[in-house]
Structure 1
Amino acid sequence: MPYSPSPLASPDSTAVASAGIRLVVTDMDGTLLDDDKRAPEALREVLGRLRERGVLFSPASGRQYATLAREFADVAEGMVFIAENGTYVVRDGVELSSDPLAPGVAARVVAAVRQLAADGVDVGAVVCGKRSAYVERTDEAFLAEVRRYYVEHRIVEDVAAVDDEVIKVALFDFGSAERTTAPALADFAETHQVVVSGEHWVDVMNRTANKGAALRRLQRELGITPAQTLVFGDYLNDLEMLDAAEWSFAMANAHPEVVRRARHLAPSNNDNGVLRTVARLLDLPVKGL
């Protein structure tokens, strides 16, 4: 279907051009990737065009750094990876910023998850460290979900006792994370962030940690303004990131709250919405977009 957004859905390319875009930031799952977790065929060509223009491209995801680095291994030079929902930001293998949990927090979250499981909820914890992710559930159904987002992971006897700097605890709920697991973590929401990052995922992080905070730090470091930033997202863990850019886009498939928060609307992830919007607004000569 041809992409012809209404004036209210997407800005005029002339206005975007006059802003002098220097940074494009996109969520991965439900945003850049389609529902089958596939990257668009034209992605490498668009990344090359952006590089030619001096525009920095930054994936911003709940996925771990190792997973993102593998996805973009052939084009990673100079790219900034906003990983683990903003708790770990890396460029060319060098940490730019991180927001680790205080000692003991991960163990408390794990204890709550174990109680949920004992009460019959089909849920498991992924303790996310800087070096690796750690799990103690060993069933294939759970591990298959872990492998999607955490290429570097280890099975341990007790995830509450790992020797790593923990930046996040992610919980996978085979049911509805928003309806079941997130409400059960209400006590943590008083002191930490409990963020529903997908239909089945909930992340517990420091209150100061989110994609938006990481993006604002990056903008300050690089001297890039919100007016020079294009951002795309689809779920609740993208809200603060949308606030950090004047050119903020919700995908057509986005959570209703994301659509309300963003300034503009892009086609869905299954309609190659990110690349089609970037190519149109930045006038990139890419065949098929």
Structure 2
Amino acid sequence: MPYSHSPLPTPADTPVAPADIRLVVTDMDGTLLDDDKRPPAGLWETLEQLRERGVLFTPASGRQYATLAREFAPAARGMVFIAENGTYVVRDGVELSSDPLEPDVVARVVAAVRRLSADGVNVGAVVCGKRSAYVERTDVPFLTEVRRYYVENRIVEDVTAVDDDILKVALYDFGPAERTTAPALAPFAGSHQVVVSGEHWVDVMNRTADKGAAVRALQRELGITPAQTMVFGDYLNDLQMMDTAEWSFAMANAHPEVIRRARHLAPSNNDDGVLRTVRRMLGLPDPARPTG
């Protein structure tokens, strides 16, 4: 159900003149992808046009790197992937940065999830490593949700005993995560980030890791300014990213907090808002439509 935006301040209208953009960063779910998880029409053509202009297109998602690399396989060469909500940044299979959790933190978060489950909350933990995601639950509804975002996943007896660098612990709550699971994780908020990344997802990460920090590090490495950067997002895990770019866009159906934080408003994810805005600002032609 889209949020009602009528009581909120309206971000500035999208400019129509071409801009000196060098970096385009976009969230995936609820932003680039439509509600059925489909990419927008003309994506590959537009990505090739951006490459020809020297503009770097960077997905920034709570999804794992393996999932993003598979989804963008036709255009992945040279692309930077900001995965796991900024805790893992990779280009051409080479790690640029990572921010793993300490094992004792992972153990304490997992113990909290187990207590919630024992109290009747329908929730499960996904321990997100560099090589794979790890779960203990084996029921089909839970695994179906996990496998949407983590193509590399393993069922293990104890997720706290895996041999991997753990980037974050993601919790899938079959109820409203913002009202149930997130408050239960409040004890971790003083030392770590507890981020509601979707209607049913909550992520626990290091305080130093988020999409915004990853974008700033990328800007420094490439010599790109906020004035040359566009970012797009729709949910609470995109908030820090809104502060990294002069061209920050909330989707029309975004969470109200994201709309308040962004400088501009883009059409919804179901209206191809990211690509329409990028093409408009950079003066790119609309993708050719098949005839016949």
Shorter-chain TM range is: over 0.9
Aligned residue in 2 for 1:209: 209
- Work out the CA distance in 1 between the residues paired with 2:288 and 2:215: 30
1:9 CA displacement: 3.7
Q: Which has the higher helix share?
A: 1
Which residue type is aligned with residue 237 of structure 1?
N
Aligned residue in 1 for 2:286: 286
- Relative distance call for 1:265 and 1:288 in structure 2 (3 A) is farther
1:204-231 per-residue CA deviation (whole Å, 9 max, x = no partner) reads: 0000100000000000001101110000
Matches within 5 A, 1:28-43: 28-43=28-43
1:164-204 per-residue CA deviation (whole Å, 9 max, x = no partner) reads: 00010000000000000000000000110000000000000
Aligned residue in 2 for 1:147: 147
- Work out the CA distance in 2 between the residues paired with 1:107 and 1:161: 9
1:62-94 per-residue CA deviation (whole Å, 9 max, x = no partner) reads: 000000000001110000000000000000000
Aligned residue in 2 for 1:122: 122
- Work out the CA distance in 1 between the residues paired with 2:263 and 2:66: 31
1:10 CA displacement: 2.7
- Work out the CA distance in 1 between the residues paired with 2:13 and 2:27: 18
Aligned residue in 1 for 2:13: 10
1:8 CA displacement: 5.3
Matches within 5 A, 1:220-235: 220-235=220-235
Aligned residue in 1 for 2:160: 160
Which residue type is aligned with residue 13 of structure 1?
V
- Work out the CA distance in 2 between the residues paired with 1:173 and 1:11: 36
1:128-174 per-residue CA deviation (whole Å, 9 max, x = no partner) reads: 00011000000000000000000000000001111100010000000
TM-score (norm 1): 0.95
Percent identity over the alignment is 80
1:11 CA displacement: 3.4
Q: Does 1:103 align with 2:106?
A: no
- Relative distance call for 1:288 and 1:242 in structure 2 (3 A) is farther
1:104-140 per-residue CA deviation (whole Å, 9 max, x = no partner) reads: 1111100000000000000000000001100000000
- Work out the CA distance in 1 between the residues paired with 2:234 and 2:288: 24
Count of residue pairs the alignment pairs up: 280
Give the SS at the match of 1:248. Answer: strand
Give the SS at the match of 2:24. Answer: strand
Give the SS at the match of 1:85. Answer: helix
- Work out the CA distance in 2 between the residues paired with 1:287 and 1:26: 19
1:287 CA displacement: 3.2
Consecutive unaligned residues in structure 2, runs of 5 or more: 1-9
Contact 2:211-2:241 within 8 A present in 1 as well: yes
CA RMSD in angstroms, aligned pairs only:
1.2
Contact 1:45-1:286 within 8 A present in 2 as well: no
Contact 1:110-1:125 within 8 A present in 2 as well: yes
Give the SS at the match of 1:193. Answer: strand
1:52 CA displacement: 1.0
Contact 2:46-2:287 within 8 A present in 1 as well: no
- Work out the CA distance in 2 between the residues paired with 1:90 and 1:287: 28
- Work out the CA distance in 2 between the residues paired with 1:91 and 1:274: 22
Contact 1:9-1:266 within 8 A present in 2 as well: no
Aligned residue in 1 for 2:3: none
Aligned residue in 1 for 2:244: 244
1:244-289 per-residue CA deviation (whole Å, 9 max, x = no partner) reads: 0110000001000000000000000001100010011111012379
Matches within 5 A, 1:16-27: 17=19, 20-27=20-27
Give the SS at the match of 2:70. Answer: helix
Q: Does 1:257 align with 2:257?
A: yes
Give the SS at the match of 2:45. Answer: helix
TM-score (norm 2): 0.94
Aligned residue in 1 for 2:112: 112
Aligned residue in 2 for 1:4: none
- Work out the CA distance in 1 between the residues paired with 2:11 and 2:192: 36
- Work out the CA distance in 2 between the residues paired with 1:253 and 1:12: 19
Contact 2:235-2:255 within 8 A present in 1 as well: yes
- Work out the CA distance in 1 between the residues paired with 2:235 and 2:78: 27
- Work out the CA distance in 2 between the residues paired with 1:11 and 1:180: 36
Contact 2:64-2:83 within 8 A present in 1 as well: yes
1:32-62 per-residue CA deviation (whole Å, 9 max, x = no partner) reads: 0000000012100110110111100000000
- Work out the CA distance in 2 between the residues paired with 1:22 and 1:11: 18
Consecutive unaligned residues in structure 1, runs of 5 or more: 1-6
Aligned residue in 1 for 2:270: 270
